[in-house]
């Protein structure tokens, strides 16, 4: 018999990667130039997690899906106008910075607090989904800290597939080196899954789903709690774009050691 699941997808919003992103340092620390006027999108890694969560919930009648999204309310509203047409979910917004510079631990604290505030959440059937990586908060530890703060010990990263069994256990495929997968079997929820790209394509826009979602999204945005993400003693000396440089030289008689030595010397010039 299918088990009703409680799935929370964690996501941030990021500037559209097709835009020119220029780092700058202001009064509040590092950020992106004209960040608030750049068009935003749902973090691509988190989007994969959301679509996988929706597909899993659809297979188990009675399941619920929440999207915990962190970002400025104005930007969240802009992004949700598009995301809301993809899959059905209940939004739990957190009003906070959009950039990639806030500390991962304070980000995890804000997200885990939002998860704990969800009324009627059954932790015995809880799956926390998120991106294995991030286009903004790519520290690689945010989901792990969320799991620790929620008291969840079973964490999986680089996930491409999850298969639930009739007894409540589930099988997970995690990416490992060499294009292979590590197969893990877990006795059951709760668990945290950091998704890679998964197996699903981006769902088509469905205006009916969008209208249904927006009935709850707009009131939720109005009640969004503000999260001040502390730096936790984290500081940046400088932020700048990588230098673009291309110098071509043809060499026919250099050994591998000579090439490696020259490369190391060249890289060291910018350090």
Confidence of residue 242 (pLDDT cuts 50, 70, 90): low
Distinct helix (H) and strand (E) counts, the chain: 6, 12
Are 80 and 209 in contact by the 8 Å Cβ rule? The answer is no
Q: How far apart are CA 151 and CA 145, in angstroms?
A: 10
The pair phi, psi for residue 3, each rounded to 5°, is -100, 135
> pLDDT digits over 162-190, tens only?
999 988 899 999 998 888 899 999 998 89
Per-residue pLDDT tens over the stretch 35-52: 777 788 888 888 999 999
* Inter-axis angle of helices 142-150 and 104-116, nearest 10: 40
CA–CA distance from 6 to each of 190, 211, 256 (Å)? 9, 23, 55
Question: In CATH, what is the architecture of 6-226?
Answer: 3-Layer(aba) Sandwich (3.40)
| Domain locations along the chain | 6-226
Q: Would you place residue 233 in the very low, low, confident or very high pLDDT band (cuts 50, 70, 90)?
A: low
Q: How many CB atoms lie within 10 A of CB 262?
A: 13
What integer is the mean pLDDT of 123-128?
Answer: 90
pTM reported for the whole predicted model: 0.80
Answer whether 131's CB lies under 8 Å from 45's CB.
yes
Q: Are the beta carbons of 193 and 42 closer than 8 angstroms?
A: no
Alpha-carbon distances, residue 234 vs 105, 142, 244 (angstroms): 11, 15, 28
Q: What stretches of the chain show up as alpha helix (H) in DSSP? A: 44-59, 73-83, 104-116, 142-150, 207-222, 256-268
Q: Tell me, what's the pLDDT at 72? A: 87
At residue 143's C-alpha, the angle toward residues 138 and 144, to 5°, is: 110
The neighbour count for residue 259, using CB atoms within 10 Å, is 11
What is the band of 1 on the pLDDT scale with cuts at 50, 70, 90?
very low
Determine the average pLDDT of the residues in 235-264. Answer: 78
Please, which residues have CB within 8 angstroms of residue 193's CB and are 6 or more apart in sequence?
49, 127, 128, 129, 130, 155, 156, 157, 159, 162, 172
């Amino acid at each position: 018999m299918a088990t009703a699941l409680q799935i929370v997808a964690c996501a941030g919003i990021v500037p559209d990667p097709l835009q020119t992103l220029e780092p700058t340092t202001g009064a509040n620390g590092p950020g992106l130039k004209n960040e608030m006027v750049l068009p935003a999108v749902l973090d691509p890694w988190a989007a994969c997690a959301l679509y996988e969560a929706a597909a899993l919930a659809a297979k188990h009648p009675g399941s619920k899906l929440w999207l915990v999204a962190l970002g400025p309310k104005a930007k969240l509203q802009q992004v949700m106008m598009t995301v809301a047409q993809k899959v059905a979910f209940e939004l739990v917004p957190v009003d906070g910075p959009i950039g990639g510079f806030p500390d991962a631990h304070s980000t995890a604290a804000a997200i885990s607090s939002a998860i704990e505030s969800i009324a009627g959440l059954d932790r015995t059937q809880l799956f926390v989904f998120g991106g294995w990586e991030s286009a903004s908060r790519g520290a690689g530890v945010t989901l792990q800290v969320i799991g620790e703060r929620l008291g969840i010990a079973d964490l999986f990263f680089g996930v491409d597939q999850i298969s639930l069994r009739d007894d409540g256990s589930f099988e997970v495929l995690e990416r490992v080196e060499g294009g292979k997968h590590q197969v893990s079997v877990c006795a059951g929820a709760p668990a945290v899954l950091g998704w890679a790209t998964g197996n699903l394509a981006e769902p088509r826009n469905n205006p009916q789903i969008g209208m249904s979602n927006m009935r709850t999204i707009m009131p939720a945005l109005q009640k969004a709690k503000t999260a001040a993400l502390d730096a936790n003693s984290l500081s940046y000396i400088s932020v700048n774009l990588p230098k673009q440089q291309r110098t071509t030289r043809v060499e026919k008689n250099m050994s591998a050691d000579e090439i490696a030595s020259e490369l190391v010397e060249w890289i060291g010039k910018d350090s």
